[in-house]
Structure 1
Amino acid sequence: LCSAQALQVDENERPLYVTYSMGQGLVCYIPQEDIHRGMLLEEVPFGTPAQVAFERQAFLKSGGWDSSLDANFDDIDSWIKIAQFGDALFINRCLAYRTIWPGGYNQRFSLYTRLKTHILIKRKIYELVHPQHLNTIPPVQHIENYLKLHWSMIALKQGQLRDAAHLASYAPLSLPAWQLFLRRLQREQSFNHILPQVYLSYLIHNFRNQENTNLSLIQHYGSWRWGLRAWAEGHPLQALNLSRKALFSPTAWRLLFALFLPQSNDPHRVLLHPNHITLLKIFFFLQKKAPQPLTHVQELHLYLKFRLVGLAFRQKKWFYFLQYFLPLTVSIAAWRLLVKLWFWQDHHRQVSSIRKIILVEAHPTETLLR
């Protein structure tokens, strides 16, 4: 199974929400024996068919789509069965759209029907959890109480007080159910998820070469990020300790306002690449720590500057574009790198697709063998 992040939009294609990333880096690998535990605790959300790819053979082995569940957890049921036959990959890039229709077919089912199906799905997952994880998962009754809480909250949100009370039953009296509910809420709304995906425009628009600005921005970002996360988890003293440096910094307060007062009509805030902050950190590291005489380090340093120039140009940030671009125009090393990149691209275009896929990675080995 392979899943990517998706941008949820309304019927007018306005961005609503970006599904959260998994793990660190561009790709997160999850072995087969861990998948069902993650699905049970909602730590491994594969998403809708628009986000998921799988091998045809595994799909056929799983028995195919269950038509009795059409538009009501039918996709999740299929992922559960396919996950028995292999590992999973999560691509932490937004590669798909998911439209939320106000009159969607799945919304025609009653909340009680959807709750019953949800419980059925969780029981299926529970039976497939690998034996090594059985001691680390809550009893199935706690899972069911959590689901009752979840759907009763949806009924409350829709103003259906009687249905909310009926769906909840005795679940509000279950402390483990509340713990599971709050854990999921924290995961969906955690600042660790939100900041890198949605509110990084302040950071991206403030790429600069100056050491103090670069380092200060990273420090303030980290202070607010972990301070806010500690506050969300109910640790006010820890939050104060983590964010104390940022509290007395004008730059940090400007960053905070950028985080919580975004322009609602700017879809690029949602689609920002999650690795931009990593690019900034690499850039700062090369400025301060890497040995400058090394040719490859110098070339990587220049290449990152070219990337920043391209980023500023695409976002029409002309001040930053000129700030990076003008010094490069008088740099002999930069021109030399451009020529090298041009020759490399020209050679790369002449290589057949099969050779690109199969043989390109073999070049270093061939050199060593010679």
Structure 2
Amino acid sequence: MNFSVVITTYNRLDLLKRAIESALSQTVACETIVADDCSTDGTQEYVTRLQESMRKQGDDRLIYHRNASNLGHSLTMNAGVKMARGEWIKPLDDDDYLAQNCIEEMSQAIALRPQAVICSCQAAQVDAQEVELSCTPKTGPGKAFYIPQEDIHYGMLLEMVPFGTPVQVAFRKNIFWQAGGWDSRFDGNCDDIDSWIKIAQFGDAVFLNQCLSYRTIWPGAYNHRFSVQKRMDTNILMKQKIHTLVNQKYHDDRPEIKDVRDYLKLHWSFVSLKQGQFLSTIVTAFPAIFSFTAWKLLVKAILFRHKPWTAQNKLFAKYADELFSQSPELLNSEQKWRTHHNILDVLKDFQVSERRPMLKKIKFWHILKLKSQVIFSSEHRPISKYVDRNRDKSENRHNKIALQLDTNINILDNLYQFIQTHQKENLPQVKVVRAYIQLRWSWAAIKQKKLISGIKIAFPAIFSIPAWRIFFAAIESDYREKRHNKIRKLVLIDD
């Protein structure tokens, strides 16, 4: 496939030069189109001069288009795409730029999924001096993955599928026009998101867990022109569009559009509050502030954004096998397979740095995310010596919750000792970890309406503040994993 990079610009020649250079210096040669919205700062002279210089060297990759009058961001993008000869379009604002291998990496991933109509990558946010401020998080497994078309809009509705800004996205040219191009009613304020929503009706989406683009954060950005109220109204309109496009199989699971609107009002009321607009905060939040469902959606969105995706790595299988070799007496052949996958689930929450092939700083509560099933057989010796709950052995034998608690504590002790040999920092005291396990299983008992058992198991762990911290962090981690598993994210290129 071939790509065209379409750069929209208006009176930002200094920034435009950087964007053009990043497009022309790609490791895979691609056409570069500068779509100028009638600039008055010498943009035309600079680009035509560069164009002539390149043509003298036999290079006709740079194309220049100039609007007869100032038409706005959306119509300028449409004009640039009309001139493109590439099968795929990579949009680029003049204040952003690309990594040299952006087009190459996108091309390789797209080739593995011919049904794809849209592609997105990670982006670094940089300041005016190109100092990196942050990077958008990973959104799924592997180096590249795809989401089937029927899952996309449900994922977008619940903010599990973030395509991002134009600097992150590429799309098929023919599908762009089939979807209607960019709508000038949203000029500079969600015209891109509106387009992603429409394009996603026609095929799969490919995502790359690689930082291949750079977005400049500065006061001159286009989106700073809009008020909080206008941005909120447009955001609600986008969600309404997505809501109607959610595949039939998700209809029973999607929230009501009224609750989605209320959730967005709560979100934007907090944006107003952060900007010191107290009257606007009150007006925006009312009456959404009384919606319990809206608050639930807001909390879930915050939890989901809090931490990037952590995908299973081959490194974890190595650690699991090493743990088995250290404790072979714990497992029989039937149980080993089940336990192996359970331990991989635990170990996958290690953060592995791509820049440094070593374990990063561990948050221990992620290691403790053990499943609620009994991994070892019920004949495995009870570990009552670890936790004093004043329970006799007969209760141990007949109380399933207590047996599961003992089993998890035993697994935990083995994992704890194992982790100490690999990473000794940031490990809480063993008594705190055991208290956390008691809280976890006390909650399981209460959910099964076994109130007395829940109270017995919880005491005295209920008084441990560090254990409660781990408990709530583990719940948050569990929720993020369940949320990620709601839609299909299928690996194209493994790590």
From 199, 204, 226, the equivalent of 2:356 is 204
Match of 1:225 among 357, 366, 369: 366
Match of 2:164 in 1: 47
Distance in 2 separating the partners of 1:198 and 1:252: 11
Of the three residues 226, 229, 233, the one matched with 1:112 is: 229
Structure 1 unaligned segments of length 5 or more: list them. Answer: 207-216, 231-236, 257-370
Question: 2:151 aligned with 1:34, yes or no?
Answer: yes
CA offset at residue 158 of structure 1? 1.2
Within 2, Cα distance between the matches of 1:77 and 1:52? 13
Q: Which of these residues, 25, 35, 41, is aligned with residue 142 of structure 2?
A: 25
Contact kept in structure 1, 2:154 and 2:246, CA below 8 Å: yes
More strand by share: 2
What SS class does the counterpart of residue 231 from structure 2 fall into?
Answer: helix
Question: Does the aligned pair in 2 maintain the 1:58–1:82 contact within 8 Å?
Answer: yes
Residue 254 of structure 1: CA displacement?
Answer: 3.6
Cα deviation, residue 226, structure 1: 4.0
Q: CA deviation at 1:147?
A: 0.4
3-state SS of the aligned residue for 2:133?
strand
Q: Are residue 121 (structure 1) and residue 219 (structure 2) matched?
A: no
Deviation at 1:53, TM superposition (A): 0.8
| 1:10 shift after superposition | 2.0
1:36-92 CA deviation, whole Å, 9 max, x = no partner? Answer: 111111110000111111110000101111112111111100001111111111111
In structure 2, relative to structure 1, the CA distance for the partners of 1:252 and 1:158 (3 Å cut) is farther
The 5 Å alignment of 1:135-150 reads 135-150=252-267
Check whether the contact 2:128–2:217 (CA below 8 A) recurs between aligned residues: yes
Q: Which amino acid aligns with 2:169?
A: V
Among candidates 68, 71, 84, match of residue 188 of structure 2: 71
More helix by share: 1
Partner of 2:294: 177
C-alpha contact (below 8 Å) 1:191/1:229 kept by paired residues:
no
Distance 2:174 2:354 in 1: 46
Letter in 1 for 2:216: T
Q: Which residue of 1 aligns with 2:307?
A: 190
What secondary structure sits across from 1:46 in the alignment?
Answer: coil
1:4·1:52 contact (CA, 8 Å) conserved in 2?
yes
| Deviation by residue 1:123-154 (Cα, 9 ceiling, x = unmatched) | 11111111111111000001001100110111
Please tell me whether Structure 1 or Structure 2 has the larger radius of gyration of its CA atoms.
2
1:2 to 1:43, Cα distance in 2 relative to 1, 3 A: same
Residues 30 and 202 (structure 1), Cα distance of their counterparts in 2 relative to 1, 3 Å cut: closer
Alpha-carbon distance change, 164 to 226 in structure 1, aligned in 2, over 3 angstroms = farther
Deviation at 1:225, TM superposition (A): 3.4
TM-score, length-normalised on structure 1?
0.57
RMSD, aligned α-carbons: 3.6
SS of residue matched to 2:124 = strand
- Structure 2 distance, partners of 1:193, 1:132, is 27
One-letter identity of the residue aligned with 2:266 = L
Cα gap change, 1:229 to 1:94, in 2 (>3 Å):
farther
The residue number in structure 2 matching 1:97 is 214
Runs of 4+ in 1 over 6 A off after TM superposition: 196-199, 240-244
Residue 131 of structure 2, aligned match among 8, 11, 14 = 14
Q: What is the CA deviation profile of residues 182-215 of structure 1, one whole-angstrom value per residue up to 9, with x for unaligned ones?
A: 1111111126559x99975599365xxxxxxxxx
Q: Give the number of aligned pairs.
A: 238
Quote the Cα distance in structure 2 between the aligned partners of 1:15 and 1:123.
34
Say whether the 8 Å CA contact 2:123–2:136 is kept in structure 1.
yes
The whole-number CA distance in structure 2 between the counterparts of 1:18 and 1:37 is: 25
SS of 2:130's equivalent? coil
1:283 corresponds to which residue? none
Aligned partner of residue 11 in structure 1, secondary structure: coil
Whole-angstrom CA distance in 1 between matches of 2:353 and 2:262? 40
Contact between 2:124 and 2:135, CA under 8 Å: does it hold in 1? yes
